[in-house]
Structure 1
Amino acid sequence: MTRFHTRWGLQDTGSCHAVSVIPDKPEAAKVPAADHTLRILSYLAGRPAPVAASAIARELELPRSTVYHLLSTLAAHGFVLHLQEERRWGLGTSAFELAGGYTRQQPLARRGAPLVAALSDRLGESAHLAVMSGGDVLYIVEERAPRRPALVTDVGVRLPAHLTASGRAMLAALPREQVRALYPDTSAFPVRTGQGPQTPRELRELLREVRARGYATEDGEVAVGLRSVGAAVLDASGWPVAAVAVTWGIEELDEALLARAVQETAALLESRLRR
C-alpha cells in the first residue's frame, strides 16, 4: 500500500490543511537525491515535533548515511535545524519561508481581507492579518482606520515575531520544540524600542501567559505609544497559519473587548478556510 504524508499549507478550495501527494516510494524516480530530499522535507513537515535521523531513515526506508548527508546539506541552507541536545531534526527558517510564500497567495488574503475590514470598522481601529515567515511575521492584509495613528505594518512589512501580538499569538500555538529551534539563544531576540523578551526563558514565560489568556498583547515593543492584541488562526491540525490583530494608540481602551472581537474574527476566518 502506498502511504501519503500530511503537509501544512493552503489551497484555492479554502482548505488550510492540504495533503501532499509525494508517496513514500515513488516509482522510477529520475533524480534520486532530489526525490530523497523532498521526501525528507515532506516527512518533517508532517511531524508535530522534531524527530531523530534514525526515525527518518526507518520511516522512509532510506540508508542512514544518505539521510545524514542530506540533512547536513539541508541544514547548511537553513531548511532544517539540528537540535543537538535532543539529537533531533526539525524544519528550519528557509522551509518556513517557502510555507509563508505559499500562504501569502490569494486564498488567505482573499478570505481574510473582508473580515479584517469589518473588524476595523466595528472597532474604529486599524486591523491586520499576518503570517509567520521564519522568525518574523509578514503582514498580508492591512486595514487602516481613519484618523488613527500611523503604523509600520504595511502589507509586505516584516517584524520580529516575538515583539508583535500577531507573532506571539502564532508562536504560542507552535510546538515548543519549534519555538526553541527559532529562538535558541539571546542572539535571536532583536529589539526595536528596548522592550520585549530578550532570552528564551523570557519568551517561554510570555507565551505561557498567551496560552493561558487565549490571546496575545504588545505594548510599545514595536512602536512607542502603540498597543496591539492578536489571536491565532489555526488550521484543522491546530497549526497557526495566520493571526488577526488590532492596533491602537495611547487611549485607554477596553483590552478584553478588543481581544474578544479579534478572537471572533480569527475563529470566523478559521471556519471559512476549512470549508
Structure 2
Amino acid sequence: MADASKVPAADQVLRILSHLATQRGPVPAASIATALGLPRSTTYHLLGVLQERGFVVHLPEERRYGLGVAAFELSSGFSRQQPLTRLGRPLVAALVDRLGESGHLAVLHGRDVLYLVEERAPRRPSLVSDVGVRLPAHLTASGRAMLQALPPAQLRALYPDRAAFADLPSTTDAAPWSYSRLKTLLAEARAAGVAGEHGEVTRGLASVGAPVLDHLGWPAAAIAVTFAEGAPDELVDAASAAVVDAAATLSRRIGAR
C-alpha cells in the first residue's frame, strides 16, 4: 500500500472529501483549510479540480463548498455493491455455527434498523428480523448498539420527543419511552461494550449486539445474536464476546482504524 506522504495530492483530496462528508452543510474554503492544516492556495486549487469532476459543488452566493453529485454516485455505487452484506455474511454465519444461535447484520435507517443478513440456527424459534425487515432501533440490540455510538446531537435529532418512540405489539415492556430513558440505556450499553434487549422485540427471546464502526468512528452497522430469554450466563457471555469480536473484524474490513 502506498504511503500517503508519497502521494500528498491524493491524500489531501481524500481528506477534503472526508471532511465535507462529516459537515452538516456546505462550508467555506477557509474553514476547510484551517481544519485540515492545508495552505489556502492548495485548498482552493484542489476544490477547483473536485468541482470540475463533480465531486464538489460551489455555492458562490454563500462562498461555501459542499459535496457534489459525483460523491453521491460513489455512495450509490457502494450501496449497489453491498460490501457490508458481502463482508458481513460469512462473519455472521461463523457466529451461528460457533454459538448455535441465530445471528443478524443490520444498518441504521433513520429511527429504524434494516436487516441485511439473517442466519438462522437449526431448531431455533422463528424470528421477525428477516432480511429487509425494519424495526424500531431503540427496541433492538442492533439498534441500541448503533445508537450508543452516535454523537449526542445526532441522537437527540433522531428522538426529539416522545412521539419519536415507536412500539411493537409483542413487547413485554410497558414502561413509557423518553429521551432520558434511552440515554440511560445507551450509557449502560456503552459501558458494557455490548447492547442487549430482553423480550422487547419478541416475547421469550433476547439479543446482544455490537456496533460496526467506519473510518470516521460512525456506526455503519451492527452484528447481533438472538437466544432464549433466561439462557445460561455462559451462553450470554460467549455471545457477547463473539458479537464484539465479529463487529471489530468487520469494522477493520471496511476501513476502520
Output the TM-score relative to the length of structure 2.
0.70
More helix by share: 2
Q: Which amino acid aligns with 2:250?
A: L
Match of 1:243 in 2: 222
Query: Counterparts of 1:119 and 1:165 in 2: how far apart (Å)?
Result: 16
Query: Quick one: which of 206, 218, 237 aligns to 2:185?
Result: 206
Identify the structure with bigger relative contact order (alpha carbons < 8 Å, sequence gap 6+).
1
Match of 2:126 in 1: 150
**8 Å Cα contact 1:100-1:133 kept in structure 2:** no
Query: Quick one: which of 197, 200, 205 aligns to 1:218?
Result: 197
Following TM superposition, by how much is the alpha carbon of 1:211 offset from its aligned partner in structure 2, in angstroms? 0.8
Following TM superposition, by how much is the alpha carbon of 1:219 offset from its aligned partner in structure 2, in angstroms? 0.5
Match of 2:4 in 1: none
CA deviations over 1:84-105 (Å, ceiling 9, x no partner): xxxxxxxxxxxxxx97995574
Query: Counterparts of 2:230 and 2:182 in 1: how far apart (Å)?
Result: 27
Query: Quick one: which of 204, 209, 213 aligns to 1:234?
Result: 213
Following TM superposition, by how much is the alpha carbon of 1:112 offset from its aligned partner in structure 2, in angstroms? 0.5
**Number of aligned positions between the proteins:** 206
Match of 2:62 in 1: 63
Match of 1:264 in 2: 245
Establish whether residue 107 from structure 1 lines up as the match of residue 119 from structure 2: no
Secondary structure at 2:244 match in 1:
helix
Following TM superposition, by how much is the alpha carbon of 1:150 offset from its aligned partner in structure 2, in angstroms? 0.7
Query: Counterparts of 1:184 and 1:101 in 2: how far apart (Å)?
Result: 32
Following TM superposition, by how much is the alpha carbon of 1:62 offset from its aligned partner in structure 2, in angstroms? 4.5
Q: Which amino acid aligns with 2:212?
A: V
Query: Quick one: which of 156, 163, 166 aligns to 1:187?
Result: 163
Query: Counterparts of 2:165 and 2:77 in 1: how far apart (Å)?
Result: 23
Secondary structure at 1:142 match in 2:
strand
Structure 1 unaligned regions, length at least 5: 9-22, 38-60, 68-97
**8 Å Cα contact 2:165-2:177 kept in structure 1:** yes
Query: Counterparts of 2:172 and 2:93 in 1: how far apart (Å)?
Result: 32
**8 Å Cα contact 1:189-1:197 kept in structure 2:** no
Q: Which amino acid aligns with 1:127?
A: G
Following TM superposition, by how much is the alpha carbon of 1:237 offset from its aligned partner in structure 2, in angstroms? 1.6
Following TM superposition, by how much is the alpha carbon of 1:251 offset from its aligned partner in structure 2, in angstroms? 4.3
Query: Counterparts of 1:27 and 1:256 in 2: how far apart (Å)?
Result: 49
**8 Å Cα contact 2:210-2:243 kept in structure 1:** yes
Q: Identity of aligned pairs, percent?
A: 54
Query: Counterparts of 1:244 and 1:219 in 2: how far apart (Å)?
Result: 16
Match of 1:74 in 2: none
Following TM superposition, by how much is the alpha carbon of 1:36 offset from its aligned partner in structure 2, in angstroms? 5.3
Following TM superposition, by how much is the alpha carbon of 1:256 offset from its aligned partner in structure 2, in angstroms? 2.0
**8 Å Cα contact 1:235-1:274 kept in structure 2:** yes
Structure 2 unaligned regions, length at least 5: 1-8, 23-45, 66-73
**8 Å Cα contact 1:233-1:241 kept in structure 2:** yes
Residue 99 and residue 259 in structure 1: after superposition, are their counterparts in 2 closer, same or farther (change >3 A)?
farther
Following TM superposition, by how much is the alpha carbon of 1:274 offset from its aligned partner in structure 2, in angstroms? 2.1
Secondary structure at 2:215 match in 1:
coil
Query: Counterparts of 2:211 and 2:76 in 1: how far apart (Å)?
Result: 15
Query: Counterparts of 2:158 and 2:107 in 1: how far apart (Å)?
Result: 15
Residue 27 and residue 224 in structure 1: after superposition, are their counterparts in 2 closer, same or farther (change >3 A)?
closer
Match of 1:166 in 2: 142
Following TM superposition, by how much is the alpha carbon of 1:253 offset from its aligned partner in structure 2, in angstroms? 2.7
Following TM superposition, by how much is the alpha carbon of 1:27 offset from its aligned partner in structure 2, in angstroms? 8.1
Output the TM-score relative to the length of structure 1.
0.66
**8 Å Cα contact 2:107-2:221 kept in structure 1:** yes
Q: Report the aligned-residue RMSD.
A: 3.1
**8 Å Cα contact 1:138-1:157 kept in structure 2:** yes
Asked which structure has the greater CA Rg, the reply is 2
Secondary structure at 1:152 match in 2:
coil
**8 Å Cα contact 1:103-1:241 kept in structure 2:** no
**8 Å Cα contact 2:115-2:130 kept in structure 1:** yes
Query: Quick one: which of 178, 181, 193 aligns to 2:154?
Result: 178
